[in-house]
Structure 1
């Protein structure tokens, strides 16, 4: 069984899968991904036993609802229209006040019809990306949603801080994939905010400490981050590869090139 991500996600790992998948080690435990985002790695691997989570409540509502009621989400999506008027009308709604199925459909619709598929919220946690003006955007893909629902079935899907998830579920033999908010190379990268909270340098240092603890515990861990100078100090025990990437969410061509670091802490 294979599936594609339901959403286009800023910083998503679809373009890196050809580099990431060959590195995945053999493991005897479960798969854990506590910064799941768009879930490119999860949907590509289709692990039998998995725990996925994110601190983005709206995103986790989407995954839980698609897992439980894919046809209800599809039926609601089919009622939408890709027009600027409809987009802003739907964007103005507070997803917390909607039924779970309507909230899930709203998130998919906005993601597929907004500018560059950029999920972004302001400091109040409100989605604020503008209309994409793409009349050919496909926002309802029933087969993709059904395939995702099958992969999500029987998987543990949580809305939680990554630290709590790892403390409760990580065990020796597990494979843990970590794709945290990246070290900022420039201040311009603030537009990538996908929750109202930011991930600062002390958070990166704390994460690296947890990775070291997980490795010592007997877990195999893979981390992605920007090719920032601090990475080499924080993860000096482990192997680090640097790969070229495109930052497709940047509207300027000279801002679309970058480098990612792939850190592997394997036994």
Structure 2
């Protein structure tokens, strides 16, 4: 098993790397929170960076958290950590960091494994695969190659236990983002972090969910944003700084932020890029 160096980041923190993850944007996200937060809703959960930051800051104490995503493997991993983190850790301890082990584990069908085994597989592949990518083929099978890491830390026991504690009172669901409309109340906070409108035809990360996230879905998301705003729900949304997004959300507060994107096969295409943070309040 490879443990690596302890993470300097406070726990709980994301246990997965995720395309479009928001760790580096946390200062901007936290600075644009509403003055008061009711229950918290995150329909595009991914790595959950903002949720964990809110927990660390004590801002969700006494409130409920509703966390969801359409990715069944992702939600299964969260649920396994929520319900039996020690079993997940035990399964992770059995993995080794080498090429043969990686491809052996990659060939497994996570749906045929026990929940702790499936979660350990997801974490192991995510932390040892190329550049932290999560990508599936048309059959829904993980197809990222082996990564070039000397000593990746895929079993961070302290953080996994902290994540489990943070998730104790959270509601985890595999569902479309529109379901948030049925459970929000005035004063709640919804954070939408969808697959971004691509900067170019080949720059999309939407393959993390094999059905993709088309412009039609982006339009439906904008309509949900407007309905929640009308109800008095606090809504915050991240997306790319492209003209379509600026036009569609005109009338709301649009903030420009800089993010560094490391999930790209070509190093020269990684680096600071302008993104938009849109708030209804």
Per-residue deviation, 1:192: 5.1
Determine if contact 1:84/1:133 at 8 Å carries over to the other structure: no
Structure 1: gaps spanning 5 or more residues = none
Question: Which of 23, 26, 48 lines up with 1:39 in the alignment?
Answer: 48
Tell me if 1:21 matches 2:21. no
Tell me if 1:180 matches 2:194. yes
Q: Counterparts of 1:28 and 1:4 in 2: how far apart (Å)? A: 20
Tell me if 1:81 matches 2:92. no
Tell me if 1:214 matches 2:228. yes
Q: Counterparts of 1:28 and 1:37 in 2: how far apart (Å)? A: 21
Residue correspondences, number: 265
Per-residue deviation, 1:251: 2.8
Runs of 4+ in 1 over 4 A off after TM superposition: none
Q: What is the aligned-residue RMSD (CA, Å)? A: 1.3
Pairs within 5 Å for 1:41-190: 41-46=50-55, 47-48=60-61, 49-164=64-179, 166-190=180-204
Determine if contact 2:252/2:280 at 8 Å carries over to the other structure: yes
Q: Counterparts of 1:131 and 1:191 in 2: how far apart (Å)? A: 19
Q: Counterparts of 1:255 and 1:133 in 2: how far apart (Å)? A: 18
1:8-57 per-residue CA deviation (whole Å, 9 max, x = no partner) reads 11110011101111111123520000001000000000123210100000
Structure 2: gaps spanning 5 or more residues = 1-9
Change (3 A) 1:184 1:28: closer
SS of alignment partner, residue 197 of structure 2? coil
1:115-146 per-residue CA deviation (whole Å, 9 max, x = no partner) reads 11111111221111100031311111110100
1:202-221 per-residue CA deviation (whole Å, 9 max, x = no partner) reads 11111111101100001010
Determine if contact 1:114/1:132 at 8 Å carries over to the other structure: yes
TM-score (norm 1): 0.96
Per-residue deviation, 1:189: 2.0
Q: Counterparts of 2:216 and 2:206 in 1: how far apart (Å)? A: 19
Per-residue deviation, 1:191: 4.9
Determine if contact 1:78/1:140 at 8 Å carries over to the other structure: yes
Pairs within 5 Å for 1:240-255: 240-255=254-269
